[in-house]
A = this chain, B = another copy of it.
Amino acid sequence: MSKRAAPEARRAELIAATARVLAARGAAGASVRVIAAEAGVSPGLVTHHFGGVERLVEATYDHVAAQVSEALEVAVAAASESPRARLAAYLDASFAPPIADPALLATWIAFWSLAQGGAAMQASHARHYAGYRARLEVLLAEAGVAADQRRMAAVGLTALVDGLWLELCLSPGAFSAAEARAAVAGYLAAV
């Protein structure tokens, strides 16, 4: 039996275990029993702390999305103070660890597939992507992009980065991370 833990700590453990299971086995493997075994606890704990698997997966989505946003901010903070460099760092971070990771893609695909029937998951997705685009528009503004062009630039850049990230993780042999960065740089130059 696992030692008694504070509710928040146990919830965090279960969320981390869910993320690991999702990455390793996909949506099909994310069962209560598998997740509980990964966390080293009894299956009943999932119901006790989250009231159901669905709620646990939603919480895991929010957690992983926050981790992604944080990784992108870390990349921006590590860049020089030049607005252009900060923008490039934000975009290029998607092609380097920990973002460019097949395990993260597997997790993301699992979320997408589980979002099919869940309104809460769809809302979380919309919020996350809107946040990504909003952050991008701020960086574009700081880099001197005209106000009336920022929205479409953000839409296009988000789509381009997403598509490159997806294919980079899905079939790594098609092109390299450096080529992905070059493609983004080309698009950026056209804006």
Say yes or no: B162 contacts A28, CB within 8 Å. Answer: no
Bin chain A's interface residue count: 35 or more
Closest to A182 in B: B152
* A138 located at the interface, meaning its Cβ lies under 8 Å from any Cβ of chain B in the complex: no
Say yes or no: B109 contacts A116, CB within 8 Å. Answer: yes
Identify which of A133, A159, A162 gathers the most chain B CB atoms within 10 Å of its CB.
A159
Say yes or no: B160 contacts A27, CB within 8 Å. Answer: no
Say yes or no: A163 contacts B174, CB within 8 Å. Answer: no
A67-96 interface bits toward B, Cβ cutoff 8 Å, 1 = contact, 0 = none? 000000000000000000000000000000
Say yes or no: B174 contacts A167, CB within 8 Å. Answer: no
State the oligomeric state as a number of copies: 2
Question: At the interface, is chain A mostly helix, strand, loop or mixed?
Answer: helix
Say yes or no: B126 contacts A116, CB within 8 Å. Answer: no
Provide the bound-state CA to CA distance between A183 and B159, in Å.
10
Say yes or no: A117 contacts B152, CB within 8 Å. Answer: no
Say yes or no: B129 contacts A174, CB within 8 Å. Answer: yes
Residues of A at the B interface (CB closer than 8 Å) are 25-28, 106, 109-110, 112-114, 116-117, 122, 125-126, 129-130, 133, 152, 155-156, 158-164, 166-167, 170-171, 174-175, 179-180, 182-183, 186-187, 189-190
